[in-house]
Structure 1
Amino acid sequence: MDLNCSKRPFNFNYSTDVETKRLRKTSDEKNSVITRFEHLSNELLYEIFDYLDPYEIYEAFSKLNIRLHNLVIFSSLPLNINLSSKSISTLEHRCRHVIIPNKHRILSLHLNSYVIIRDFFTHCNIDASFNRLESVVLNGLSEYRVMMILFYLNALPRLFSLTIEMQDDSFFSISDIYSIVFRLPHLKFTKISFSEDEESEISIPISINERFSTIEHLVIDHDCNINELTSILSHTPHLRHLISKNLIETEETIKKDVLLKLADLKYVCFDQCNIEFDALEVFIKRICSQLQIWRLKTECKTSYLDGNRWKRLIRRHMPQLREFHFDHRVDNDEMEILPDRESIDQFTSTFWTERQWYFEFKSEAFQYVYSIHPYREKWHDYCEYDRNDIYVNERLLQQRSNNLDIFRRRATTSACRSSISRSQFTIGFYPADFWNLSFIDDMKCSFLQAQFNHLTIQCHETPVDLLIEIIHLFPQLKSLELPSLPLVHVSSLPAETTDMLLLVSITNEITRVKLNKMVEVEQIHFLMNLCPRMQYLEIECVTYVDLENLLGSILMNNSTRVPYLCCLSICAFDAHEKIIEQLNAIIEFERLFDPERAFRGYTIQRIDNRIFLRWKL
């Protein structure tokens, strides 16, 4: 049972405040030292009680003395009650001695099982005397109690949030439940859940002079079809935020005569949309002229891959749409379906980029995923960051100025605008028998000259000949991310692979490279040969010895193999000041031998567990 009082906001100066109070008390009471718990101030006791179970507080302290009894029993602090199966054995006692005497203090009530709900309402009735109750959660509600309980809730003067999860084996009318919920006079948030039942049907007729629901945030956590969803929404004209678990097909004709007035609806999320695009389009045209955020997941139905159709729908019927989160999955169990090249081209057109929406195609064993999402900053959009510790040559600087913050915001905005036109190809996990050169042969007809700018490979230790072929397939690449590489020496590669490596190194435009795990510096040598235009290199999981070898390798190759490389990002789990000082010492030692060329005008920046080394070319 969690009868927690509402916590006070966490105050970073709390310890200082307590110390100040202690010193003040010491000043006022020269030699007085508190040695008993019951002598603590009321304020300090309330702070302690915030971290204890209030029912246990009642049992432990209410009978110790009059002061603690009054403190526990007559407090006005709000209570949040959470009754789980662990509370069953003491439920009657809790209701009689804690809940009922303090019902005017209860802010939220969570009943988390069928047995808890049944026994709670045996010992306690909810009525208007619960005058502060704002949130009710009922998990495991049965058809036997549902109507009675909803009738009780109608008396609550401040019920703003209601969550109902019906018991799996219950038989009930979901339409009746919605009808009663919509009549609750102050409700702002509602979530209704129940398991799938093919026989359930939702139809909620509108009565003459009906008072519409006040609900603004609705979560439909069950299957429903378009007609059922329309029936529900016809009662919620104030709706702002809609989440629907699963839209399913219906054999009925889609009703077009129901008028939906949802002028405030800004956010819609369909966790799974299993209807035809035609049906979804009819529905969207009726509700979404003011929509700003739309999340949608679909699968299998190829009509959803028509990027031009999406473009027309959004332009004509969703002019205010700011964020579009779209994921479409295509099952490929037999590994015989090829990606849709036409769809990829349509989803990378200027319509999407001018809205700063980002396309990603993910290919993995047994499925493809086509995604559109708003721009979100990625590792390859590096720019100047707020700096924790900064070395400029030999001097440690502390940079915490507002000017740097302003510069960062401008640089981030610039990076967003410059990279938003890019699209990403992600290769997920494949079985070893599929992860070979035949993968390239199967993909060439779909991806040859495709306009992907970022490549992420999630398969570990991709064979170098396969990696070279993949990069050759995407000449527009600007960034490359790998989890790891096999231990490879360029000099030991077969002649055919070496020739292909030379060709790809000349033609590719990759400027940013990320390797999540470096085992030895030869892996970096291979990446330098593969991506000679590299400007930014990011490496995860390296030790101090690796850093020393890495810096030496960069210095040796900076003017020959990678003449544009000017930024190194390193993830070091012990990236504290001592490591940075050692790194600075390594660089200064190298500069003794070549002061004009070795990391000229360098800076070292620490951001959390990451170290950034930048230098002038």
Structure 2
Amino acid sequence: MDVLKRKLVFNETLNESNHSINSIENLSNEIFYEIFDYFDGGEIVKIFSKLNSRFEQLLHSSFILIKTHFYLFYYEEIMNKDHELEIFSNKLCSNLKILFINCSQNIIFFDAHRWEQLILHYYPQLEKFYLTYYDGINNNNQYPIYTGPVNQFSSSFWIQRKWIFHVQINGIYNKYMIYPYKKTWYNYIDDNNIEYSTSTSLIFTHFLTSSYDEMIFEQIKRVLTITKIYHLSISKEHSIHLAIQLINVLRDLITLKIHSLPSDETTSFTFEEFCTIASFKSRSKIAKVYIEEINDINDFHNISLFCPRMKFLQVKRFNINIQLCLRTFLKDIYNNNDICSIRSLCFDVRTMDDEIIQNFDIMIRSEKLLFDYTIKHVYNKIYLQWK
């Protein structure tokens, strides 16, 4: 409902009253429903929940739950005792469709079995579940202790509903999230065989520098006590050396998404890094890689070093000549057995026409870079596949 319509409805409701209104208590429920329509569920609870018994009844009415699209926020004072959640849930309607939970500092929210029982008992018709938990360090520089099993939120209960667990490292705190499955870059090609049990992702949203490395790995250590990570996404440019460390720690990765690699960074490795890189050939599980920006012709080579078993590579943007990059990379594939696993490339292009495809095709054939391959364009993307 837009603002003009809300004003008209509100004024009409007032005009229909047969007596003067000199107190907010004399306003009808319908007027309060219109007022509530300006706020989301969390704001309504915070503003009106402690005023008086009338507002408490309004907040727990099925009309208000529908009016706010079933958004429900439990804030900390409601959650001080374990049994309060069940008591509060018992007051709500059982046909709840969407549930939002925001919380922090209370590790009981990671009891997946408790959530399963709560949802099955109180919300059997729930279709979408959103849980956000902020795991921050307390005044004693300690996280709340987590003692539960790993991958609690990957049981059949969560997989059947396609409610996926994700982690975001954002500065000094870890943000844990559960929300309905969303189609991702690595499932666009083959979305008929999605493994929801291995959909947990770790996302870095802040710039990563060497001064934060120690804290980053402490946070990752914390994450791995809670869940395995299968997809890593880094939204900012980062060091090749840090990428090697991250992949070495996150042993279950099957996809990697990075923004870019620094073009001015030295690529000399320590003996320990050489040993780590060598081990990736036998134990790396990363099959799909996405890089947002290619800035240097050596980026392909560097990516292949720490993802030697990748089968699919997608590039969003080339900041250098795309045809030169493609030629160099395909020559490396042809001449280097270390990166022979890759079988598919995907490139975003700003303008797409048949001439671009023809130029690539002519280059590949004339220079014999590939045999038994297909090349096509779909939605401003070039897909190159070979056997």
With structure 2 as the length reference, what TM-score do the two structures score?
0.82
CA offset digits 1:35-66 (Å, max 9, x no partner): xxxxxxxxxxxxxxxxxxxxxxxxxxxxxxxx
Q: Render the CA deviation track for 1:376-396: whole Å, top value 9, x for unaligned.
A: 10001132xxxxxxxxxxxxx
Post-superposition shift, 1:481?
0.7
Give structure 1 stretches of 5+ with no counterpart. 1-107, 112-134, 140-145, 156-170, 195-216, 244-266, 384-410
Q: Flag the structure with more relative contact order, 1 or 2, with Cα contacts below 8 A and sequence separation at least 6.
A: 2
Deviation at 1:542, TM superposition (A): 0.9
CA deviations over 1:397-453 (Å, ceiling 9, x no partner):
xxxxxxxxxxxxxx53x244x245421111221563643245325643652795211
Matched residue, 2:270? 494
* CA distance in structure 2 between the partners assigned to 1:305 and 1:586 by the alignment: 54
Aligned twin of 1:359: 165
Q: Does 1:231 align with 2:57?
A: yes
| Distance 1:218-1:332 versus aligned 2 partners, 3 A rule | closer
State the partner residue of 2:75: 273
> 172, 181, 191: which one pairs with 2:31?
181
Q: Tell whether the 8 Å contact from 1:218 to 1:241 is kept in structure 2 after alignment.
A: no
The answer on whether the counterparts of 2:42 and 2:71 sit within 8 Å (CA) in structure 1 is no
Determine the C-alpha separation between the residues in 1 that align with 2:244 and 2:140: 23
Select the residue among 362, 368, 383 that pairs with 1:585: 362
Name 1:87's counterpart in structure 2. none
Structure 1: how far apart are the matches of 2:178 and 2:218? 27
Cα distance, 1:370–1:450 mapped onto 2, change above 3 Å: closer
Aligned counterparts of 2:295 and 2:248: Cα–Cα separation in 1: 25
Q: Give the structure 2 partner of residue 298 of structure 1.
A: 103
Deviations 1:478-513 (A, max 9, x none): 101111112389973222211111123421200011
**For 1:85-484, what aligned pairs fall within 5 Å after superposition?**
110=3, 135-137=5-7, 150-152=13-15, 173=24, 175-177=25-27, 179=29, 181=31, 191-193=36-38, 220=44, 223-225=47-49, 230-233=56-59, 236-237=61-62, 241-243=66-68, 267-270=69-72, 273-274=75-76, 275-276=78-79, 278-332=83-137, 336-338=141-143, 340=146, 342=148, 345-383=151-189, 412=191, 414-416=192-194, 418-419=195-196, 421-430=198-207, 432=209, 434-437=211-214, 439-441=216-218, 443-444=220-221, 446-447=223-224, 450-461=227-238, 463-484=239-260
Partner letter of residue 552 of structure 1?
T
CA positional deviation for 1:606 = 2.6
Tell me the amino acid that sits aligned with residue 380 of structure 1: Y
**2:29 alignment partner AA:** S
After TM superposition, give the deviation of residue 222 of structure 1 in Å: 5.8
Q: Counterpart of 1:26?
A: none
Residues 542-572 of structure 1: CA distance to partner in whole angstroms, max 9, x if unpaired? 1572343234313432561222312211122
Tell me what 2:314 maps to: 538
Secondary structure of 2:261 counterpart:
coil
Distance 1:419 1:149, change over 3 A: closer
Paired positions, count? 377
What is the distance in 2 between the residues matched to 1:335 and 1:565? 48
**Corresponding residue SS for 2:103:** strand
SS at match of 1:223: helix
Letter in structure 1 aligned against 2:70: V
AA aligned to 2:14 is F
Q: Percent identity?
A: 19
Q: Answer whether contact 2:287 2:309 (CA < 8 A) is retained.
A: yes
- Cα gap change, 1:450/1:326 in structure 2, threshold over 3 Å: closer, same or farther? closer
The code of the aligned residue for 1:610 comes to K
SS at match of 1:444: helix
- Whether the 8 Å contact between 2:205 and 2:236 is mirrored in structure 1 is yes
CA contact (8 A) 2:98 2:129 kept: yes
TM-score (norm 1): 0.54
The 2-side partners of 1:149 and 1:374 are apart by: 40
Q: Name the residue aligned to 1:516.
A: 292
Which of the pair is proportionally richer in helix? 2
**Closer/same/farther in 2, CA of residues 431 and 483 from structure 1, 3 Å limit:** closer
Find the residue that maps to 1:510 and give its secondary structure. coil
Superposed CA offset, 1:563-605 (max 9, x none): 23122111222234433332223223233xx6xxx14231322
Larger radius of gyration: 1
- In structure 2, the residue matched to 1:601 is 373
CA contact (8 A) 1:290 1:320 kept: yes
Q: What is the distance in 2 between the residues matched to 1:518 and 1:357? A: 34
Question: 2:196 and 2:2 mapped to 1: Cα distance?
Answer: 48
Q: Which amino acid aligns with 1:151?
A: L
For 2:343 and 2:183, how far apart are their aligned partners in 1?
21
Separation (CA, whole Å) in 1 of partners of 2:226 and 2:57: 48
What is the alpha-carbon distance in structure 2 between the residues aligned to residue 565 and residue 479 of structure 1?
13
| Distance of 1:482 and 1:351 partners within structure 2 | 32
Mark the runs of 5 or more structure 2 residues left unpaired by the alignment. none
C-alpha distance in 1, partners of 2:35/2:330? 58
Task: State how far apart, in whole Å, the 2-side matches of 1:523 and 1:172 are.
Answer: 70
Say which SS state the counterpart of residue 456 (structure 1) adopts. Answer: strand
Whole-angstrom CA distance in 1 between matches of 2:8 and 2:210: 50
What whole-Å deviation, never above 9, does each CA across 1:114-166 have from its counterpart, x for those lacking one? xxxxxxxxxxxxxxxxxxxxx33379xxxxxx8x86421569xxxxxxxxxxx
- Secondary structure at the residue paired with 2:321? helix
Q: Judge conservation of contact 1:543–1:572 (CA < 8 Å) in 2.
A: no
